[in-house]
Structure 1
Amino acid sequence: MPNQVDYHGNFNAEIFEDLFSTLCKALYEKYGPVNIHMDGASYHKRRVENIPTSNTKKQEIIDWLNAHNIVFSDELRRPELLELVQMNKEKVTFACVKIAKQYEHEVSFTPPYHCELQPIEGIWSVVKGEVAHSGPHPNLLSVRNTLLNAFKKKITSQVIIGFWRRALKNAKKYLEFDDNAQLMDEDFDEYDNSDEDCVI
């Protein structure tokens, strides 16, 4: 649908990290250190410092490599220097991982394009379905109220646990099928906007 609004466009790393910090603190106070699994949305994976890209000047790439104690030949050209950056960018952590570590939590990322491993995607499908079936909305306030009502009425603890169990079952299937399957650690840096194509 051309006029469909994607919540990713209304969310950014700053908002996420503020909420995530609050969540990490609450989790630690109630449960102690926990393992946190999340998808690879861009706002989840903001690096604590900028990584050189193809638009970065050669001297800045060299400075970055030197700052991270990466040994290289002076004869390397820009593309080769960028390749070294890509091989070593995991030395720069994601902000959410740094936040989680403050509370002794560990963060892992689910692989891209595997929304069936994300319980939140099932919850979103229920809520979006309620909005879609409630007829045309005269304004955004009406959409907002429908969303809030859907969360209150349709998303019970049983629904959340059901989607969590389904995601866990799917993860176990992957692990049974492939002994090498695993959650991605923080050095995997591909953006995952998979909920747009997700059917739960």
Structure 2
Amino acid sequence: MSNKKSLKHLRSKDELFVTNVSEYFKKNPGPDKRSIIQRTIQATGVSRRTIYRLWKERSKRAPYKPVDGFDESVIRNKIHEFYTYSRQLPTLKNLLTVLKTEIGFPGSRWLLRKTLRKMGFVWKRTTDNRKVLIEKPSIVRQRLAFYAKKKELEDKGYCLVYMDETWIDTAFTAKRCWQRDDLPGVIPPCNRGQRLLVVHAESRNGFIKGAQLVYKASSSSGDYHHEMNGQNFTKWLKEKLLPNLHSPSAIVMENASYHSMQAEKFPTSSSRKQEIKEWLRKQNIAFDDGLLKPQLLDLCRLHKLEPSYSVDQIIRRHGHEVLRLPPYHPDFNAIELIWSQLKILVRHRNFTFSYVNQHNKSNETVAISEQEEMDTHCQALETCDDVTRFVDVNLESVKEFNTDEKKDTMRIVDGNKA
């Protein structure tokens, strides 16, 4: 049987390869007297007829017309119009249709993709405005305060304990696997199943033994944070976490609503007038009993105290401290780095899709995590903190330098004008 390939068995990249080989032999004849066809046949293994067909198709193709600067400007403006005026996603298909109509774009989607990449466009996952929010002056101030308090607690000998919550569905399994027609591999159910919530805490020495809580959520969709409330969190804190902390610890937590329940509620516009008066009397603030409600609220705002959280009071009564993360900084929580690894382990071990088995798998995967991994994550987080703090401090210096330089330039300009 001949080992020569026919054209119908060649893919587009194979056709391009054969064409490029023949073009190379045209430019480099070589010392022997063999023809270009013979050398191409010997090098690629395709038939003579296939090579002639490829040459014929190549001769029929329209010559390549490069995209000039004017066309690139039009493409850039059209993409901007898709976002601002049409309010549509500029996919290759939509963009190519418009460009062929308006500027007679000569190429295919492949050429358009190549042109967009050359212009600096990248098709990637969309991002939110978190990068903007974390650079707000108020957030930077809270971030610097976090660094300072963290260092102060570490100098006093407190052990950092990171706590957080995550979720796992009973149908949480691998999305890809080795399979064929007679061996389908993993067959996940059509729905997500029941959702499990996992609450835990970890330190440099590993997960806190006895602090794990796994329970079934009432809903399997939406944000899992609404499944946890202040009562459940306080119960977990008193019964699971605090009894298992045997040395002075600083508990690192985010600013979720159930973490930030105020011990004494500050009066608001929805408070009754009598409640506002009681709060003022409790704070030993003198007021005229004939004042109206808006005037009483203004008086409360003048004497507003720093918020005191009931969770913080419970933790401090047990000899520990609280270290709250700055807003929009979940990456400062070391336990976030371990959740993804735990979910990968669950994916690779979940084949039954039942609540009981998934509950057991969650407990097993937590037990698999070793102390070395925890220590590695804590070290990586400390390095990230040091780098971020260095950037914050030096960025402030650069801003001050630029401001002073701008002022000096303005003085020089004003002097020249005079």
In the TM superposition, residue 13 of structure 1 has moved relative to its aligned partner by 2.4
Q: Is the 8 A contact 1:62 1:81 kept in 2?
A: no
Q: Does 1:178 align with 2:392?
A: yes
Describe the shift of the 1:137–1:105 C-alpha distance in structure 2 as closer, same or farther (beyond 3 A).
Answer: same
Q: Is the 8 A contact 1:119 1:164 kept in 2?
A: yes
- Letter of the aligned partner of 2:373 in structure 1? V
Q: Does 1:162 align with 2:376?
A: yes
In the alignment, which residue of structure 2 is the partner of 1:128?
343
Q: Is the 8 A contact 1:127 1:150 kept in 2?
A: yes
Q: Is the 8 A contact 2:267 2:297 kept in 1?
A: no
Q: Is the 8 A contact 2:250 2:321 kept in 1?
A: yes
* 2:232 paired residue among 15, 24, 28: 15
Distance in 2 (CA, whole Å) between partners of 1:85 and 1:121 is 37
- Percentage identity across paired residues of the two chains: 28
Q: Is the 8 A contact 1:13 1:43 kept in 2?
A: yes
Describe the shift of the 1:80–1:156 C-alpha distance in structure 2 as closer, same or farther (beyond 3 A).
Answer: farther
In the alignment, which residue of structure 1 is the partner of 2:48?
none
Q: Is the 8 A contact 1:17 1:95 kept in 2?
A: no
Name stretches of at least 5 consecutive residues in structure 2 with no aligned partner. 1-191, 193-218, 394-418
Describe the shift of the 1:80–1:170 C-alpha distance in structure 2 as closer, same or farther (beyond 3 A).
Answer: farther
Distance in 2 (CA, whole Å) between partners of 1:173 and 1:157 is 25
- How many residues align? The count is 175
Describe the shift of the 1:138–1:79 C-alpha distance in structure 2 as closer, same or farther (beyond 3 A).
Answer: farther
In the alignment, which residue of structure 1 is the partner of 2:187?
none
SS in 2 for 1:107: strand
In the alignment, which residue of structure 1 is the partner of 2:326?
111
* 1:145-194 CA distance string (max 9 Å, x none): 332222122x2212222222222222222322224xxxxxxxxxxxxxxx
How much is the aligned-residue C-alpha RMSD, in angstroms?
A: 3.5
- Letter of the aligned partner of 1:167 in structure 2? L
In the alignment, which residue of structure 2 is the partner of 1:78?
294
* 1:39-84 CA distance string (max 9 Å, x none): 1122222222333344222332232233223466765753871794
SS in 1 for 2:304: helix
What's the TM-score, normalizing by structure 1? 0.67
Q: Does 1:43 align with 2:258?
A: yes
- Letter of the aligned partner of 1:12 in structure 2? N
Q: Is the 8 A contact 1:52 1:61 kept in 2?
A: yes
* 2:361 paired residue among 120, 134, 146: 146
What's the TM-score, normalizing by structure 2? 0.36
In the alignment, which residue of structure 1 is the partner of 2:267?
52
* 1:79-109 CA distance string (max 9 Å, x none): 871794597252x521221122213322120
Q: Is the 8 A contact 1:36 1:107 kept in 2?
A: yes
Distance in 1 (CA, whole Å) between partners of 2:292 and 2:279 is 14
In the TM superposition, residue 110 of structure 1 has moved relative to its aligned partner by 0.7
In the TM superposition, residue 114 of structure 1 has moved relative to its aligned partner by 0.7
Name stretches of at least 5 consecutive residues in structure 1 with no aligned partner. 180-200
More strand by share: 2
Q: Does 1:88 align with 2:88?
A: no
Distance in 2 (CA, whole Å) between partners of 1:83 and 1:120 is 43
Q: Is the 8 A contact 1:61 1:81 kept in 2?
A: yes
- Letter of the aligned partner of 1:15 in structure 2? N
Describe the shift of the 1:134–1:97 C-alpha distance in structure 2 as closer, same or farther (beyond 3 A).
Answer: same
In the alignment, which residue of structure 2 is the partner of 1:186?
none
- Letter of the aligned partner of 2:234 in structure 1? E
Distance in 1 (CA, whole Å) between partners of 2:313 and 2:347 is 38
The higher radius of gyration belongs to: 2
Q: Does 1:24 align with 2:242?
A: yes
* 1:129-159 CA distance string (max 9 Å, x none): 3334556753322332332222122x22122
Distance in 1 (CA, whole Å) between partners of 2:371 and 2:222 is 27
Distance in 1 (CA, whole Å) between partners of 2:302 and 2:384 is 31
